[in-house]
Chain A
Amino acid sequence: MLDDDDDCERMTPSRRAVLGAAGALFAWSFVPKFAYAAAGARDPRFLLVVLRGALDGLSAVPPLGDPDYAGLREGIALTKDGPDAALPLDGFFYLHPAMPNLARLYATGQASVVHAAATGYRERSHFDGQDVLESGQGGPGQTDSGWLNRLLAHLPAGENISRKGVLGVGVVPPLVVRGEAPVLGWAPPRMARAGSDLIQRLEDLYGQRDPGLARALAQAKLTEEIARRQGMSGEARGGGGPDSTDGMKRIAEGAAALVGADDGPRIAALAFEGWDTHANEGGAKGRLAQLLGGLDGALATFEQGLKPVWTDTVVMVVTEFGRTARVNGTVGTDHGTGTVAFLVGGAVKGGRMIVDWPGLKLEQLHEKRDLKPTTDIRSVAKGVVADLFGISGPVLAEKVFPGSGGIGPMAGLVG
């Protein structure tokens, strides 16, 4: 283990240097990609953040270079200059001014933005949309298991990672982690902890009477052990929920501590809520700005909390679908289709906009109303986990994202 870590330490700075150098292409070609996926070379961490409620991608990452943007977004449009100017990404796309940390990570090659992206789902129900996003299936209605759980279950046999389980943050675990593979749970503690003697007695009782409860309790104990060793206090605190800046930060802190632990899970999913901005969405300031600020703070918290393993980390931020291109009758936006996804982390080949921009003219919009999706989120997710975990295309196409054979893993997302 120590040796492996050493390897990582030595490899990483040189890789960064290579990426930053003018002759990057030349040097890069001499670093075989599979070297990182090979056992021992990298101890990857993958965190999936689900934004429930459908993030307005056109506000989070406004295409200020598109001549049709401002007209569609009357009342909430962002601008290139002024006191609350959007933050430049590539000259065409900008970032919402509430996200300075993400702008910094982008500028330093540790974040990429995927735009005009969507799952395969083309209706506009939040709940079906989230089911499709999290189940990894082609359509709604198949919610027995989530794609992160199946990913874990299909890692190469004997893989150290799969034994560690997948972490689902929250009292109610997100669908994306549910399934046959071991699921760990954690939520910011709100009650005083029960004594270990009571837990012991319940283990006995459930062991005799109730295998389901026994399994759940065993998993819970496992997580608590790791949390304790990580020095997480377990002390109950009040505070905001997953739609508040404070709540997002505490969730991110906890997830980072558990995923950062040597013996902790390597894969985790968490959800932030409140993105359904039908009315009074706001522009540079306002409701969405506050939420984006919370997300931005959580990304900084991940960076801080996962510092020792940051170069092996990818945080992927996704949402069920986007919102209407045009502002609705109540200075908000209704359910739409194409939106953004973020890839953040030291392992991301960052500083790039990943986009095939469809345009914003009426006839360029999906059903003349939504940003047209040109990139399938599954190809991004497949590309990331293929590179991070060395999992093969066929397994991804059959087990993790069933029926997605036609949607290849996007190459080169992870450096």
Chain B
Amino acid sequence: MASPSVLRSESVGLQRFALGFGLGQSPEIRGTARERLLAEIERRTVPQPTGLPYSGAAEIGAALYAFEDAERAAREAKPAAGQQVAAAAPAQNQMAPPKPANEPALPYRTYRDEVVARVRLALEAETGFGERLVQFWSNHFCIGATKSNMTRIMAGAYEREAIRPHVFGRFEDMLVAAESHPAMLEFLDNRLSIGPGSPAGKRRGRGLNENLAREILELHTLGVSGGYAQVDVTNLARIITGWTVVGREAVLGFPGSFAFNAGLHEPGAPELLGKPYGQPGKEKGLAALTDLARHPATADFIAIKLVRHFVADEPPPALVRELSAVFRKTEGDLAAVSRALIESEAAWAAEPAKIRSPQELLLAAFRALGRKAEFGPIVGPLNAMGQPFWQPSGPNGYPDSNEAWASPEGIKTRIDVAAGWGRQAAGSVPDPRALTEDILGPLLSPETRQAVARADSKPQALALMLLSPEFQRR
């Protein structure tokens, strides 16, 4: 049996690096948290959500285009309705079968299914470390579902295709998968960017859109102080011209999938950080991304973000240096970087001061209460607390600090949300005091124990457990 102080630190670790203790889990998990986290890394994969209607972006793209065509046809048919029934009939044939009342449109329906499927994985996970890493990387390479039908319908597929396969893989593979994913090319406008000297650029007089190029440098790799200038932004935009999404005409592949369109690509060898890139076609962008992935500024930037996320708002510099060194030495092997984090004593020793983000809180609470993944109860609280899945207000993702999440209004909203969870779970929890002992284990303070015991109702007792400092901070 581990000593009380070890048990305590392992219990903190379970909340810090993973999703906390779940209803019905064996107490043994607490004594062996670190071993289990390391074992997750060694498996080198995180599970994929199942039971989804579309396997990937290409299938989704075809469905989306069909949906949009049908919507358009329905709109255009409307004025003629009643007068020219015969003429409207061909359009009817292309339309999706009529949806039941209150059933949301296809993009939102797909988003809903994707959210439920990924939450289910987090609720079923033993510790949830892999799921936490998925959240971290998904936020690092975030897209915004609210931008368009395409980002809404592909948000889940993006996480499945660009993030999950690489969480314990190589950073540069994740980088390429993210920047070439249709959802990202749509979100940051690169699908529309045209090299001014490309065939299409000369013909149409259109040109560059530097949105994705800037965010690759600023947010995804080097960081804002990583030593690049405006000319690097513009040149990277040139380098990745032609990285686009196949349209409904399916000229370059499956509709809605990634394609390199040579007709949009800017010819020449633009310099990025002083180095010319003259490779043919798509290779040019791949070479640039590979170099960016291996740049020392990228290693530092990723290390700081990881430590800030998992350990402390003010990242301990020694730990940052350590992770950055591992990142550099292994050329971005994310399993090695994750291992260095979990093996570091400093990462475990820090006080549990960070407030759980709204998504973490929801997943931890659902695990503790033994709740199932249902869309309404997921999306309502997350919207209220300001962190719905895949909808940050900008490409820099959701914030990652107590300043942001432990604000007065944020705390008040958490209380409202947890009060609701207490009411909803009261029927299924026999004894809140016993549950509190189970869930918080060695973290439980006498004050919280007493507050739960003295609560005037079961719902209130459960809310107090969920709102206790021990459950809120990690």
Contact = CB atoms under 8 A, between A and B. Distances in A.
Interface of A: 52-53, 123-128, 140-141, 168, 170-173, 178, 183-187, 189-195, 197-199, 201-202, 204-206, 208-210, 212-213, 216-217, 219-220, 223-224, 236, 241-243, 273, 276, 278-279, 328-330, 332, 334-335, 367
Interface of B: 146, 188-189, 192-194, 196, 201, 206-211, 214, 218-219, 224-225, 230, 233, 380-381, 383-386, 393-394, 396, 399, 402-413, 415-420, 445, 447-448, 451, 454-456, 460, 463-464, 467-469, 472-473
Contacts, number: 178
A191 B408 contact: no
Contact of A198 (B206, B407, B415, B469): B415
A194 B193 contact: no
3 closest A-B pairs by CB: A185-B409, A329-B207, A194-B419
A278 B403 CA distance: 30
Given A192-B419, A197-B456, 14 more contacts: A127-B219, A191-B380, A195-B460, A201-B451, A201-B460, A205-B451, A205-B467, A209-B447, A212-B402, A236-B384, A329-B194, A330-B193, A334-B211, A367-B230
26 contacts: A124-B233, A125-B214, A170-B386, A172-B407, A185-B412, A187-B413, A190-B380, A190-B383, A191-B417, A194-B463, A205-B448, A205-B467, A205-B468, A205-B469, A216-B407, A216-B410, A217-B411, A242-B393, A278-B188, A278-B211, A279-B192, A328-B210, A329-B192, A329-B193, A329-B196, A330-B192
B394 to A, nearest CB: 6
A366 to B, nearest CB: 11
Nearest to B223: A125
Contacts of A209: 445, 447-448, 468-469
B419 A334 contact: no
Contacts of A328: 207-210
B189 A128 contact: no
B394 A213 contact: no
B384 to A, nearest CB: 4
Given A185-B410, A195-B419, A329-B209, A172 B384 contact: no
B394 A276 contact: yes
A329 B406 contact: no
A122 to B, nearest CB: 10
B375 to A, nearest CB: 15
Contacts of A219: 408
Nearest to B358: A171
Contacts of A236: 384
Given A124-B214, A334-B210, A216 B406 contact: yes
B451 A125 contact: no
B416 A193 contact: yes
A102 B404 CA distance: 32
Given A185-B408, A192-B420, A329-B201, A172 B386 contact: yes
Contacts of B464: 198, 201-202, 205
A85 B455 CA distance: 64
A377 B99 CA distance: 52
Given A125-B218, A185-B407, A278 B447 contact: no
Given A170-B409, A216-B411, A198 B209 contact: no
A219 B413 CA distance: 13
A171 B419 contact: no
Contacts of A202: 415, 464, 467
A127 B455 CA distance: 44
A326 to B, nearest CB: 9
Contacts of A279: 189, 192, 209, 211
Given A276-B394, A328-B207, A329-B194, A194 B416 contact: yes
B410 A208 contact: no
A273 B146 CA distance: 12
A171 B398 CA distance: 12
Given A184-B408, A209-B469, A171 B386 contact: yes
Nearest to A141: B225
A191 B386 contact: no
B189 A124 contact: no
B410 A329 contact: no
Nearest to A207: B447
Nearest to A335: B214
A27 B419 CA distance: 60
B451 A217 contact: no
B407 A127 contact: no
Contacts of B416: 189, 191-194
A265 to B, nearest CB: 12
Nearest to B204: A329
B469 to A, nearest CB: 4
A210 B469 contact: yes
- Which one of B386, B448, B473 has the highest number of Cβ atoms from chain A below 10 Å of its Cβ? B386
A212 B463 CA distance: 19
A168 B209 contact: no
Nearest to B467: A202
Considering residues A123, A125, A185, which has the most beta carbons from chain B within 10 angstroms of its beta carbon? A125
Contacts of A212: 402, 406
A180 B6 CA distance: 36
B409, B415, B416, most chain A CB atoms within 10 A: B409
